[in-house]
Structure 1
Amino acid sequence: MDYRPRKKSREDDFWAARQPKKRRWPLRIVVVLGFILFFVGVAYVVDRTMDWYADRSGTTTTTEAVAGETIEVVIDSGMSTSEIGRLLEDKGVIQSSSGFVDLVKARGTENALRPGNYEFEEGLQLLDVVDMLETGEAAPSLKLTIPEGKAIDQVADLLDDEGTIDGDAYVALAEKPTRFDVPKVGGTNPELTTLEGLLFPSTYYLYEGDGASELITAQLTAFDTKTKSLAWSKAEDLGLTPYQIVIVASLIEKECSIAEERAQVAAVIYNRIEADMTLGIDATVRYAVGKWTEDLTTSDLESDSPYNTRVVKGLPPTPIANPGVAALKAALDPADVDYLYYVLRDTEGHHFFTASYEEFLEAKANAPAQ
């Protein structure tokens, strides 16, 4: 048999022409695709590496931090990445100094960490800590503590004493509620003539250049945050609006310095209102005339101010101070007692409570001088 290849026919040429030719990728496209895949792979590895560092180092410990407070750390000029990492670990900001160093090196920012006074919130992730050090988010310039039960004008005096924020500017803005995004009070939006009662007492950290507006905004935000979870529905059971609860709480703050007595003072207020009696709370008169420490005159006590609860029955039109959470809770949950009177019984601030007017007069005669 003859195995010599036969010659191509025209038919063979026809079918060969119809077969698809194998496509060859140009070398340039192959190179570009290779680079793209390489950089995608590098980005993925870096991202996964940073996630691993963050997981490895975890969040802050509470070795030196007190819950709800910040951790102060001073980063000096010239400190190495390792020194900064060890300092942060010692202060309880991070759990692993080696994880901190590895992450900074992975980001290539060993020389970008900025010195300064920092305040790290408890619970920050490692990535957040490094971000702060890279951007230089140093600590605020002023720590300001506003106690419970201070009225707006008293807070203004405190600000003037600190010398950082103008007290008069604070008072002026606090009397203009429409200038601010006022939080709801127990889910309601009361018509306000003042922010008295809603400027939450707490510790605030202010930055250079911050003024009265920034402080008031922070206080309103704190009020919203701290009071959202309160049992505001109890206000309706007491026949009051949530805003009136704030008014009652402000009276409690001014009348009572003993924690265990707050609910009893609240009960006296409600019992006297129910009995159609005046409240007779001199702190409301002091609020009206602006005398927090001076002696009240007969004219003051007999004034026809709507805040004079010696003359006018019911609650004053607005809060007379800015209450804390404890006073608000007492206003929402008064003691189940029939007391109508209380009088100071010692120099430590304890009161004698009674439903008897005669007992009240006797206790008043024996009360220590105020």
Structure 2
Amino acid sequence: MFRRTTKEGLTEKEKQARIVRKIILITLAVLVTLAAAAAIGGWLYISSSLKPVDEDSEEQVSVEIPIGSNASDIGSILEDADVIKNGTVFQYYVRYKNEQGFQAGMYELSPSMNIDSIIDQLKEGTMMKEASFSFTVPEGTWYEDIVQTMAEAGPHDVEEIKTKLADEEYLNQLIEEYDALTETVLNEEIRYPLEGYLFPATYEFVDENASIEEIAARMIEQTEEIMVEFSEQVEESDYTFHELLTLASIVEREARQKEDRPKIAGVLFNRLEEGMRLEVDPTVSYAMGEHNYMTSSEDLQTDSPFNTYQHTGIPPGPIASPGRSSLKAVMNPEDNNYLFFYARPGGEVIYNEKYEDHREVQEQYRQEWVEAREE
């Protein structure tokens, strides 16, 4: 068969094959070059990120590492403080070296330090600066008492704190910044917008002139972390985080023992499902604005949306700042059939499914509260 050839004696098909091979070789060469360049560039970038931000810097930066911070959190904190170049590189470098045992607290770090030096300091807990002031908020504390505690420990007085934390412009800024806060807190029925959102814990501040915004942010961030931790439960719940926080505050005020928290949470959800009023005494005390030791028949008539003896459903907002155990209990309530519970002064809680049994318990132990109050 006759085949057409080129001047070089090659067939047209062979010439096309040669061209294709040349294109493939050039393409591969380009890809290899690009890959090598990317690898070299990546290595140079990572290598640069591990070096000091400024070797000649004499600046000392106060950096706070909160309790429970992971490598990602610490990397972000250090990057925001401009003492490292890249928080993500820090995170993966720590993971690569299997570094552990970072200590929470306040540190004086410098942009002149490389990442290995910073890691050593964070593990040893050295260079920690003593706090100028600190305060502790116990679980179940009312907003008013929290503000009083803040004022006694820090540089701001009660009225200054109350004014700032009630300022609508400031509250809207917080709502934009934190997912845990929504416009629900601006409901006119709510006494204090941030009631329940100032997480109970111990807080230390190096700056003796720390602003109200800084102090509040630390407390709200703790609540935000809890919401993120239980994000799956919140998403699956029929209730909003605000409502769950409100229920957790009731659990906090009712339960004395850890094991009772999920049981009481289960009772509250059972009553809500049955369309029953919650009828819990701490909401009456909150409605009255008084820390009552026991609730009288007259107290139960208090006209307030927080009075769960008068209104069905969940109150407009939290009645205190719940701790992690109470929040966990609400996120994972015990699956029980109880509709009633009665707390004795000694801490024992008695649960019942029927109202008649509950009434018997009330009559049997009511005198204990009278005697406890007289003591």
- The question of a shared fold, defined as TM-score above 0.5 by the shorter chain, is answered with yes
How far apart in 2 are the matches of 1:363 and 1:125?
63
Q: 1:222 corresponds to which letter in structure 2?
A: Q
1:360 to 344, 351, 358: 358
Q: Which residue of 2 aligns with 1:226?
A: 226
- The 1:129/1:250 distance shift into structure 2, 3 A limit, reads same
Q: 1:192 corresponds to which letter in structure 2?
A: V
Q: Which residue of 2 aligns with 1:200?
A: 199
Task: Give the CA RMSD over aligned residues.
Answer: 3.3
Q: 2:216 corresponds to which letter in structure 1?
A: I
2:179 to 181, 184, 200: 184
Q: Which residue of 1 aligns with 2:134?
A: 143
Q: TM-score, normalised by structure 1?
A: 0.60
How far apart in 2 are the matches of 1:202 and 1:177?
26
CA deviations on 1:68-87 (whole Å, 9 max, x unpaired) are: 59xxxxxxxxxxxxxxxxxx
How far apart in 1 are the matches of 2:320 and 2:140?
5
- The 1:285/1:346 distance shift into structure 2, 3 A limit, reads closer
Q: Which residue of 2 aligns with 1:271?
A: 270
Count of residue pairs the alignment pairs up: 252
Greater fraction of residues in helix: 2
Q: Which residue of 1 aligns with 2:257?
A: 258
Q: Does 291-300 or 138-147 show the bigger shift?
A: 291-300
Q: Do the aligned partners of 2:133 and 2:153 also contact (CA within 8 Å) in 1? A: no
Q: What does 1:169-180 correspond to in 2, within 5 Å?
A: 169-176=160-167, 178-179=169-170, 180=173
How far apart in 2 are the matches of 1:204 and 1:260?
27
Q: How many angstroms does 1:241 deviate by?
A: 1.6
How far apart in 2 are the matches of 1:164 and 1:298?
43
How far apart in 2 are the matches of 1:297 and 1:364?
13
SS at match of 2:318: coil
SS at match of 1:291: coil
Q: Do the aligned partners of 2:107 and 2:128 also contact (CA within 8 Å) in 1? A: no
How far apart in 2 are the matches of 1:296 and 1:157?
25
SS at match of 1:240: coil
How far apart in 2 are the matches of 1:264 and 1:278?
17
CA deviations on 1:238-291 (whole Å, 9 max, x unpaired) are: x21222111111111111121111111111111112222211112112112210
CA deviations on 1:305-355 (whole Å, 9 max, x unpaired) are: 1111111111101111112222112112211111111112351x2201111
1:155 to 146, 165, 188: 146
Q: Do the aligned partners of 1:235 and 1:332 also contact (CA within 8 Å) in 2? A: no
Matched, 1:306 2:305: yes
How far apart in 2 are the matches of 1:317 and 1:50?
52
- The 1:342/1:298 distance shift into structure 2, 3 A limit, reads closer
SS at match of 1:366: helix
How far apart in 1 are the matches of 2:320 and 2:168?
16
Q: TM-score, normalised by structure 2?
A: 0.59
Q: 1:142 corresponds to which letter in structure 2?
A: F
- The 1:155/1:331 distance shift into structure 2, 3 A limit, reads same
SS at match of 2:184: coil
Q: 1:345 corresponds to which letter in structure 2?
A: R
Q: What does 1:310-329 correspond to in 2, within 5 Å?
A: 310-329=309-328
The answer for unaligned runs of 5 or more in structure 1 is 1-46, 52-66, 70-117
- The 1:273/1:251 distance shift into structure 2, 3 A limit, reads same
Q: Which residue of 1 aligns with 2:28?
A: none
